[in-house]
Structure 1
Amino acid sequence: MFLLLLLYLNKHKLPLSLPRQIPLFPFPMAFDPSFAESNISNAKAILTAAASFAATAVLVRSIANDLLPSEFREYFYDGVRNIFSRFSSQLTMVIDEMDGLGPNQIYEAAETYLATKISPSTTRLKVSKPEKEDNITTAVERNEEVIDTFNGVKFHWVLICEQVQRENFHNPRSPYRSVVRSFELCFHKKHREMVLKSYLPHILQQAKELKQQTKTLKIYTFDYQNMYGSISDLWIPTNLDHPSTFEKLAMDSEIKHFILNDLERFVKRKEYYRKVGKAWKRGYLLYGPPGTGKSSLIAAMANYLKFDVYDLELTGVECNSDLRKLLMGIANRSILVVEDIDCSVEFQDRDSEKDEEEDPSTSRRRRLVTLSGLLNFIDGLWSSCGDERIIIFTTNHKEKLDPALLRPGRMDVHVHMSYCTPCGFRVLASNYLGIENHTLFGEIEELIPGAKVTPAEVAEELLKGDESDKSLRDLIEFLNVKTRENEEAGGKEEKEGTVVSTENRDIFTRFSSQLTMIIDERDGLGRNQIYDSADAYLATKITPSTHRLKVTKPEKEDNITTTMESNQQITDTFNGVQFHWVLVCSQIERQNIHNPRLPFLFSVRSFELRFHKKHREMVLKSYLPHILHQAKDLKQQTKTLKIYTFDFRHMPRNISNLWIPANLDHPATFEKLAMDSEIKDFIFRDLERFVKRKEYYRKVGKAWKRGYLLYGPPGTGKSSLIAAMANYLRFDVYDLELTEIRCNSDLRKLLIGMGNRSILVVEDIDCSIQFRGRESESAEEENPSFMRRTSQVTLSGLLNFIDGLWSSCGDERIIIFTTNRKEKLDEALLRPGRMDVHVHMSYCSPCGFRLLASNYLGIENHELFGEIEELILKAKVTPAEVAEQLLKGDDGDKALSELMEFLEDKKRRNEEEWKAKIDESEMEAREKKERKEENGIAA
């Protein structure tokens, strides 16, 4: 009974004390038996009366629940509560999670704010980490109280969670159950005005700043499939983890400082813009040759301002109305980017009516985004539908743009991104080599202006080695080559960069020194990464004394996995501190629409982590990150490699369903590759350096990726090399078929769906798709059916995919293009920063033959090797052809003899083909000569 009384007092926040005239211990210090017996009798009488009163109250409530209608009961209870509330000095504000159909901003702000007010005496705490977020978040657990002080006043917060029934329109007899959350804020009535006018606005402001400090930057692409759905679903986000900063940008210091100062002035002038009657926005035009750092500058601006980036692909927008919907879906404090504005779409301009008269089919073939629509989007009435926005256009050809796009108020600042300057070189040398000066700097700075090289080209040269002297000498050699090329080509001098301004506690937990963290399996609709990591990590901590263990093996996986069984406890030690883990599983009912009488039973899992309260900071800052890192390594070691293709029949809205996996069980390794040993060693070392240089890439401001171009005749081992790279790195492979992609927006969605530590492969890039690039207009004029037959993936879209802002949406990625004809590829695809390493996969060499003989026949030497090696140079056979010959028999002598016959035949055919070509060319020459002579006679 006494325990029930304590629980009652605690629930209603009543003080745990008795009136002064009734002492807690009703006997004097000198023991008096008669006095004690009298007080015991009085205590019994009091408890008996309390018990009788409680039993009567329960009986009356039961009778009322059975006999009285619910409406009358609620009316009666409300009346009783109102009577007692008149004598209370406390006011309770209820802050619901939802305000109608939308979220309540005060609830969200309080959730963020109260996470910083959790006291060391708290006994239960909720922690989570979404998979694609960088920070571990803490939150108030339900029914836990948080006390905050503001202006000397104490405020009591409690998170209330209730299960409610909602109407099921499919079956009214079987309603849905959902959780309704709210914060209850309790304080003295006299502070009501202060709460409304000062305390709650203070919470909103603090929460805004906290969110901004811990914000994970995002880059968005729009989903054209949701164009006619909810505006909130228009844009698809992914993390923007580009390491670029203003300190790392290799551009002229004056231009850099101007942009930095311009951005600082912009974000501080909200009231100024309002005073002068202008929308709070700023436009930048970045123009100049490819590789000059336009995407890096945008990333640096986003990192400096902590603004999200919205990448608008105009080729996927069908009309001005869609353009406006996209603008409505963009949040404040953001950067809107339109890359390659000059070639991304052909606008209908003010002369469109005249054009239609000339060609009536033009209006059907062109998109309906007009120049007027774009101008209104960036500078008209629609530009005021948001605050604190940066709009950036990029182009390689400023002169192709309509002057109406360029005027102040639209593009306020024009930034010319020029070739690398001596100042830019010194920044790159400091970033990549860690040196501020060197004896070779003078010579390099003299060569740079005449070489006309981009910062990307200089960076790639410095990235090739770890020794400063060698890297600088190699750079000098590279600059000399570029200077000679420019002199031979007679290129024009490029001008220097310029800028033009224009929410039932146990009372005994109060005295507990233990803190329990609850780690739910799911964080909202997504997975809780801490739960997944703890699941993998704790499997390695299971002791021999464990009584129950869960063992699984998915059908398509190679490894047997062991995990904790529910309610089993594991004790882990970290930095001398013991941590107690328990897996808690509970079942909840969910509505079965098909059979409401048989609801679904779902398991809800969570880990409870218990430790001493004094170690809370160590857990959040060291122990949990340690678990995340260990789990990542464990998963990588036991990983079954996958190869992915995307579902070309339809593009699912759920990004997690974009790629379809299958096991990659290719046995290729670097030891088995039949290719030149020097090339093989170079690729091997290059991969080793790449995977070890995460911090280096971040330091120099580059996305952690590496591009390889594999070119050469069919059958030279390009696919085997890719498999060997995947097996060595333990990276999954994503095979991208460009011919099945409809537009640049789909290309970005596929990139978002890729995992880190992966290889993206585009095979036969030269013939997989015809890109719409800067020549697309002429192609359309020559063939009106051009737009209907080809994919809308543009060269600009692909370049942004592999080297622009979108290339930073993931870490530790290899991008591989293969082709049989390198000369057919656009130069923009081949430059450093895109395809960093070009690997020529040639015909089989003597070294490759010996490796194949060792792999297929198990022999290291043979008397026929010399003769075969001589023939192999003349026969021009691929490793695949040699391997096929060695695969035909088990006897080494016979296989080698047959290989010699094959090589001799191949050599003879090559000579015949060569002779036929010579004869054909001679015949063409004679015919040409005869035609000339005939023309001369006729003249």
Structure 2
Amino acid sequence: MFLLLLLYLNKHKLPLSLPRQIPLFPFPMAFDPSFAESNISNAKAILTAAASFAATAVLVRSIANDLLPSEFREYFYDGVRNIFSRFSSQLTMVIDEMDGLGPNQIYEAAETYLATKISPSTTRLKVSKPEKEDNITTAVERNEEVIDTFNGVKFHWVLICEQVQRENFHNPRSPYRSVVRSFELCFHKKHREMVLKSYLPHILQQAKELKQQTKTLKIYTFDYQNMYGSISDLWIPTNLDHPSTFEKLAMDSEIKHFILNDLERFVKRKEYYRKVGKAWKRGYLLYGPPGTGKSSLIAAMANYLKFDVYDLELTGVECNSDLRKLLMGIANRSILVVEDIDCSVEFQDRDSEKDEEEDPSTSRRRRLVTLSGLLNFIDGLWSSCGDERIIIFTTNHKEKLDPALLRPGRMDVHVHMSYCTPCGFRVLASNYLGIENHTLFGEIEELIPGAKVTPAEVAEELLKGDESDKSLRDLIEFLNVKTRENEEAGGKEEKEGTVVSTEKRDIFTRFSSQLTMIIDERDGLGRNQIYDSADAYLATKITPSTHRLKVTKPEKEDNITTTMESNQQITDTFNGVQFHWVLVCSQIERQNIHNPRLPFLFSVRSFELRFHKKHREMVLKSYLPHILHQAKDLKQQTKTLKIYTFDFRHMPRNISNLWIPANLDHPATFEKLAMDSEIKDFIFRDLERFVKRKEYYRKVGKAWKRGYLLYGPPGTGKSSLIAAMANYLRFDVYDLELTEIRCNSDLRKLLIGMGNRSILVVEDIDCSIQFRGRESESAEEENPSFMRRTSQVTLSGLLNFIDGLWSSCGDERIIIFTTNRKEKLDEALLRPGRMDVHVHMSYCSPCGFRLLASNYLGIENHELFGEIEELILKAKVTPAEVAEQLLKGDDGDKALSELMEFLEDKKGEMKKWKAKIDESEMEAREKKERKEENGIAA
């Protein structure tokens, strides 16, 4: 307005010496009537001019809005603003609500932060409370100014809301308006660096802490129906209102304080984790009997940290891919909980066969969920996809968990949630009865260790009454009952299933010097290896005086096996100490699904090993390892060798069903092989050294496997050598036909399905895998159907199993490749570490002939041997051809004579073949010479 007045005065040529003619204050200190009259007339003129100018401005603005395009008006206004902004010392930062398609974190932080800076003089305030939240929130209303002070500098905030017209897709003629919000932050330009480097980071940190303090905790479960939709829709939240806190936990105080300090240290060490190159997460394993407070501890941790909880039910996840999607949908500052981990993921890696038998449909549904898939999220590449996370696994049986899950870096802290302790009881008494001490506390604390009650059971007793004296007396009665039950149950557990002669003795077990170890047949869902080993070992210790014996022979096995009968006792001696074994069999009634009225009896077997208590360490460290080793050797000696081929129809199904076995009854041995004696002895010694070097391979960090390449013409004994190696090592053979495999993924499945102590054979490797690695185009031209069938199988896929990551997927394996043409193989396949030993299977040698004569004719020497050996060197015949000639007759003289005739014929053929070769070479040489002569003449 003042500017308009100046323009008006200049237009009408009015004097500018305002102090004399138009004073700023129209009423002087000394009143002069004439001067006042003059001032009033001047003021009237000014006001009249201002009113006229204002009316003109309004008229011009209206005409401009109606006639001028909006783009021109915006351009004009921006120009005017820019003119004035050049001379302004203020800087305005605009913080939009949205950053592209996503929210602007600074806007959200400012909204939370400024809610705490609203002054009492504010006249407008925004208040809200979501339906599922507990807290009422306040926020800045639009166009309201908030002044904040930071480091002595004032900052002015204003919330700007604009309505933007958007096209309505459903009705283009009726557009709708959307609100665009932003904060404008105004301050002096000289503070720009401070705002960017200190003030805004301060707001972000303060907002983060405020949100954590006021947030309503959530617990999430996943919605499987949305598995293939948006990741944000996978988890369904509900409020977590668990009242548990660390102060209320009935735990040992030292353990409780350790967990509290560990959590506090974890949340403060973001930069430390980044510095050492680790994902910012922490793993806890809570193990112990049911009712010991595992869930309460998790809730206390969530309440203390103000972290949301994601409850992951692994049995509802189909595959590792779905598992990754779920884990990607987990927010930072959260707790991931997998309860009863031993009942959800372990069976996939350990007990898949039994689980499939019990519930085939369930097995098919989750057959692809693996422990390794979860571990990859815990400390693998996927562990970096989130920050500040707590991962908690719970179990009732820690011993059933895979050791890979328990190591530091995965489960960093192992917390044993034990039975209630005296310390825990005092916390419960304080929580439930409101008393810190009582005359009965001493008696109760003496009973608690022997009663073996959980905190949940104690809490239940304390809940029954309102009067503390009565509640404590009732608790004492309860503890006495539990103590008696535990003593009786202990006696029953020892008596059940034992022979009559041991029942009377069990009464005096407390005063006995004997210790009895129970070795159950099953360990959870899997078999107990010690039981199986003891079963095999004790079969060799059965004495002639035994009057009951169990004899079996499976249909497809060759050997008759003898084992202990139930309730029979065997005495074994080891290092001068006697050990008494008894096989105990008891029957348990199980429900019959098909006929509930007719239950069936299920047999439960276990060994009882009894010895003097002083030998306990020797049993654990020497005797039982000795049994395991002896049983392993016995099984190897008596096992029926198998040769496996794979069933392509079962490729997508359970790995255990991929390989189909058949008995391997090949009679080949090293003694019978028609090979050069030096080569044979070398292979024999190499195999013997290999099987004895388990610790060496472990020490040097190599997979315990050995590669052999057998190359040479057909009929030179490659298959016989493989059979001899299998018979000597007692290893099963897996015959892998690469041409039938569709892709590398299927190849891995097959290789994973192989057992340890086995031989993997790939025959004619040059005809199956090499062209995929180096000659794919030519192979496709020669045989397109064959190429299509193996289009995804690559040489690198097989090499990855031989000495890559997959090479550690099995122990004590021999890998054998055979080929007729070594020169066609890729060099990558031949190097040591892949094919460690190259064996040339050549034509029959004189030494090989003598072995064949001994094997087939039963003669060690003959007058024709010398002549035959001379012919063999010239004829180039294979051992198979020589053996075929020796098989034709029973008479040694006649067979050798016919062999000589055969060798003479082969020798003649060789001469003709060489002559033809020489003739071809001569013709080629002559052509070359003629070309050279023609070139010189030209």
Tell me the TM-score normalized by structure 1. Answer: 0.50
Instruction: Please state how far the C-alpha of 1:83 moved relative to its aligned partner.
Output: 2.1
Could you tell me whether the CA contact under 8 Å between 1:432 and 1:700 is conserved in 2? no
Q: In structure 2, what is the equivalent of residue 870 of structure 1?
A: 870
Instruction: Please state how far the C-alpha of 1:199 moved relative to its aligned partner.
Output: 1.5
Alpha-carbon distance in structure 2 between the residues aligned to 1:461 and 1:684: 72
Instruction: Please state how far the C-alpha of 1:364 moved relative to its aligned partner.
Output: 3.1
2:915 maps to 1:916: yes
Alpha-carbon distance in structure 1 between the residues aligned to 2:31 and 2:605: 56
2:633 maps to 1:633: yes
Question: Which has the higher mean CA deviation after the structures are superposed, 113-122 or 914-923?
Answer: 914-923
Instruction: Please state how far the C-alpha of 1:75 moved relative to its aligned partner.
Output: 2.2
Alpha-carbon distance in structure 2 between the residues aligned to 1:82 and 1:513: 100
Question: Which has the higher mean CA deviation after the structures are superposed, 308-317 or 540-549?
Answer: 540-549
Question: Which has the higher mean CA deviation after the structures are superposed, 601-610 or 450-459?
Answer: 601-610
Instruction: Please state how far the C-alpha of 1:95 moved relative to its aligned partner.
Output: 0.9
Alpha-carbon distance in structure 1 between the residues aligned to 2:803 and 2:275: 41
TM-superposition CA deviations, 1:445-498 (whole Å, max 9, x none):
121122111101101111111111100110111111112222221179999999
Q: 1:803 to 1:384 in 2, by over 3 A?
A: closer
Identity, in percent, stands at 99
Alpha-carbon distance in structure 2 between the residues aligned to 1:9 and 1:545: 137
Alpha-carbon distance in structure 2 between the residues aligned to 1:621 and 1:75: 90
Show the 5 A alignment for 1:506-545. none
Q: 1:306 to 1:61 in 2, by over 3 A?
A: same
Show the 5 A alignment for 1:408-419. 408-419=408-419
TM-superposition CA deviations, 1:356-406 (whole Å, max 9, x none):
999998863434212221110211110111111110001112222222212
Alpha-carbon distance in structure 1 between the residues aligned to 2:362 and 2:568: 71
Q: 1:20 to 1:126 in 2, by over 3 A?
A: farther
Question: Which has the higher mean CA deviation after the structures are superposed, 485-494 or 287-296?
Answer: 485-494
Question: Which has the higher mean CA deviation after the structures are superposed, 726-735 or 67-76?
Answer: 726-735
Alpha-carbon distance in structure 2 between the residues aligned to 1:650 and 1:213: 55
Q: 1:419 to 1:584 in 2, by over 3 A?
A: closer
TM-superposition CA deviations, 1:748-800 (whole Å, max 9, x none):
99999999999999999999999999999999999999999999999999999
Question: Which has the higher mean CA deviation after the structures are superposed, 452-461 or 557-566?
Answer: 557-566
Q: 1:58 to 1:759 in 2, by over 3 A?
A: farther
Q: 1:595 to 1:250 in 2, by over 3 A?
A: closer
- 3-state DSSP of counterpart to 2:534: helix
Instruction: Please state how far the C-alpha of 1:40 moved relative to its aligned partner.
Output: 2.5
Q: In structure 2, what is the equivalent of residue 218 of structure 1?
A: 218
TM-superposition CA deviations, 1:529-557 (whole Å, max 9, x none):
99999999999999999999999999999
TM-superposition CA deviations, 1:16-39 (whole Å, max 9, x none):
999999766411244433333322
Q: In structure 1, what is the equivalent of residue 766 of structure 2?
A: 766
Instruction: Please state how far the C-alpha of 1:654 moved relative to its aligned partner.
Output: 38
Could you tell me whether the CA contact under 8 Å between 1:143 and 1:504 is conserved in 2? no
Instruction: Please state how far the C-alpha of 1:50 moved relative to its aligned partner.
Output: 2.1
Alpha-carbon distance in structure 2 between the residues aligned to 1:432 and 1:926: 108
Could you tell me whether the CA contact under 8 Å between 1:123 and 1:515 is conserved in 2? no
TM-superposition CA deviations, 1:793-824 (whole Å, max 9, x none):
99999999999999999999999999999999
Instruction: Please state how far the C-alpha of 1:51 moved relative to its aligned partner.
Output: 2.3
Question: Which has the higher mean CA deviation after the structures are superposed, 843-852 or 494-503?
Answer: 843-852
Alpha-carbon distance in structure 1 between the residues aligned to 2:37 and 2:574: 56
Q: 1:405 to 1:49 in 2, by over 3 A?
A: same
Could you tell me whether the CA contact under 8 Å between 1:409 and 1:502 is conserved in 2? no
Q: 1:551 to 1:848 in 2, by over 3 A?
A: same
Alpha-carbon distance in structure 2 between the residues aligned to 1:837 and 1:634: 29
Alpha-carbon distance in structure 2 between the residues aligned to 1:146 and 1:503: 86
Q: 1:530 to 1:860 in 2, by over 3 A?
A: same
Q: In structure 1, what is the equivalent of residue 354 of structure 2?
A: 354
- 3-state DSSP of counterpart to 1:594: coil
Question: Which has the higher mean CA deviation after the structures are superposed, 513-522 or 71-80?
Answer: 513-522
Instruction: Please state how far the C-alpha of 1:122 moved relative to its aligned partner.
Output: 1.4
TM-superposition CA deviations, 1:548-598 (whole Å, max 9, x none):
999999999999999999999999999999999999999999999999999
Could you tell me whether the CA contact under 8 Å between 2:774 and 2:826 is conserved in 1? no
Instruction: Please state how far the C-alpha of 1:56 moved relative to its aligned partner.
Output: 2.3
Instruction: Please state how far the C-alpha of 1:704 moved relative to its aligned partner.
Output: 58
Could you tell me whether the CA contact under 8 Å between 1:293 and 1:455 is conserved in 2? yes
Alpha-carbon distance in structure 1 between the residues aligned to 2:775 and 2:435: 43
Q: In structure 2, what is the equivalent of residue 937 of structure 1?
A: 936
Q: 1:932 to 1:686 in 2, by over 3 A?
A: same
Instruction: Please state how far the C-alpha of 1:249 moved relative to its aligned partner.
Output: 1.0
Alpha-carbon distance in structure 2 between the residues aligned to 1:680 and 1:468: 87
Alpha-carbon distance in structure 2 between the residues aligned to 1:930 and 1:444: 113
Q: 1:815 to 1:275 in 2, by over 3 A?
A: closer
Instruction: Please state how far the C-alpha of 1:511 moved relative to its aligned partner.
Output: 93
Could you tell me whether the CA contact under 8 Å between 2:353 and 2:656 is conserved in 1? no
Q: 1:487 to 1:618 in 2, by over 3 A?
A: closer
TM-superposition CA deviations, 1:625-669 (whole Å, max 9, x none):
999999999999999999999999999999999999999999999
- 3-state DSSP of counterpart to 1:221: strand
Q: Which one has the largest radius of gyration?
A: 2
Could you tell me whether the CA contact under 8 Å between 2:319 and 2:366 is conserved in 1? no
Question: Which has the higher mean CA deviation after the structures are superposed, 444-453 or 835-844?
Answer: 835-844
Question: Which has the higher mean CA deviation after the structures are superposed, 31-40 or 415-424?
Answer: 31-40
Q: 1:161 to 1:929 in 2, by over 3 A?
A: same
Q: 1:746 to 1:600 in 2, by over 3 A?
A: farther
TM-superposition CA deviations, 1:866-910 (whole Å, max 9, x none):
999999999999999999999999999999999999999999xx9
Q: 1:682 to 1:349 in 2, by over 3 A?
A: closer
Q: 1:604 to 1:897 in 2, by over 3 A?
A: same
Could you tell me whether the CA contact under 8 Å between 1:856 and 1:883 is conserved in 2? yes
Could you tell me whether the CA contact under 8 Å between 1:240 and 1:808 is conserved in 2? no
Q: 1:869 to 1:355 in 2, by over 3 A?
A: closer
- 3-state DSSP of counterpart to 1:587: strand
Q: 1:283 to 1:201 in 2, by over 3 A?
A: same
Question: Which has the higher mean CA deviation after the structures are superposed, 162-171 or 458-467?
Answer: 162-171
Instruction: Please state how far the C-alpha of 1:130 moved relative to its aligned partner.
Output: 2.6
Could you tell me whether the CA contact under 8 Å between 2:853 and 2:860 is conserved in 1? yes
Question: Which has the higher mean CA deviation after the structures are superposed, 485-494 or 123-132?
Answer: 485-494
Instruction: Please state how far the C-alpha of 1:693 moved relative to its aligned partner.
Output: 69
Could you tell me whether the CA contact under 8 Å between 1:758 and 1:813 is conserved in 2? yes
Q: 1:531 to 1:452 in 2, by over 3 A?
A: closer
Instruction: Please state how far the C-alpha of 1:265 moved relative to its aligned partner.
Output: 2.3
Question: Which has the higher mean CA deviation after the structures are superposed, 92-101 or 269-278?
Answer: 269-278
- 3-state DSSP of counterpart to 2:348: coil
Higher relative contact order, structure no. (Cα contacts within 8 Å, ≥ 6 residues apart): 1
Question: Which has the higher mean CA deviation after the structures are superposed, 678-687 or 466-475?
Answer: 678-687
Instruction: Please state how far the C-alpha of 1:184 moved relative to its aligned partner.
Output: 1.0
Question: Which has the higher mean CA deviation after the structures are superposed, 709-718 or 855-864?
Answer: 855-864
Question: Which has the higher mean CA deviation after the structures are superposed, 802-811 or 402-411?
Answer: 802-811
Show the 5 A alignment for 1:338-737. 338-345=338-345, 347-349=347-349, 364-490=364-490
Could you tell me whether the CA contact under 8 Å between 2:800 and 2:807 is conserved in 1? yes
Q: How many residues align?
A: 937
Q: 1:123 to 1:648 in 2, by over 3 A?
A: farther
Q: 1:729 to 1:542 in 2, by over 3 A?
A: same
Alpha-carbon distance in structure 2 between the residues aligned to 1:757 and 1:156: 77
Q: 1:13 to 1:429 in 2, by over 3 A?
A: farther
Alpha-carbon distance in structure 1 between the residues aligned to 2:174 and 2:599: 9
Q: 1:931 to 1:23 in 2, by over 3 A?
A: closer
Question: Which has the higher mean CA deviation after the structures are superposed, 214-223 or 390-399?
Answer: 214-223
- 3-state DSSP of counterpart to 2:172: coil
Q: 1:161 to 1:254 in 2, by over 3 A?
A: same
Alpha-carbon distance in structure 1 between the residues aligned to 2:535 and 2:807: 31
**Structure 1 gap ranges (5+):** none
Could you tell me whether the CA contact under 8 Å between 1:287 and 1:394 is conserved in 2? yes
Question: Which has the higher mean CA deviation after the structures are superposed, 872-881 or 86-95?
Answer: 872-881
Q: 1:572 to 1:424 in 2, by over 3 A?
A: closer
Tell me the TM-score normalized by structure 2. Answer: 0.50
Alpha-carbon distance in structure 1 between the residues aligned to 2:120 and 2:8: 25
Q: 1:68 to 1:463 in 2, by over 3 A?
A: same
- 3-state DSSP of counterpart to 1:772: helix
Could you tell me whether the CA contact under 8 Å between 2:717 and 2:841 is conserved in 1? yes
TM-superposition CA deviations, 1:162-185 (whole Å, max 9, x none):
211112222222112111111111
Could you tell me whether the CA contact under 8 Å between 1:323 and 1:377 is conserved in 2? no
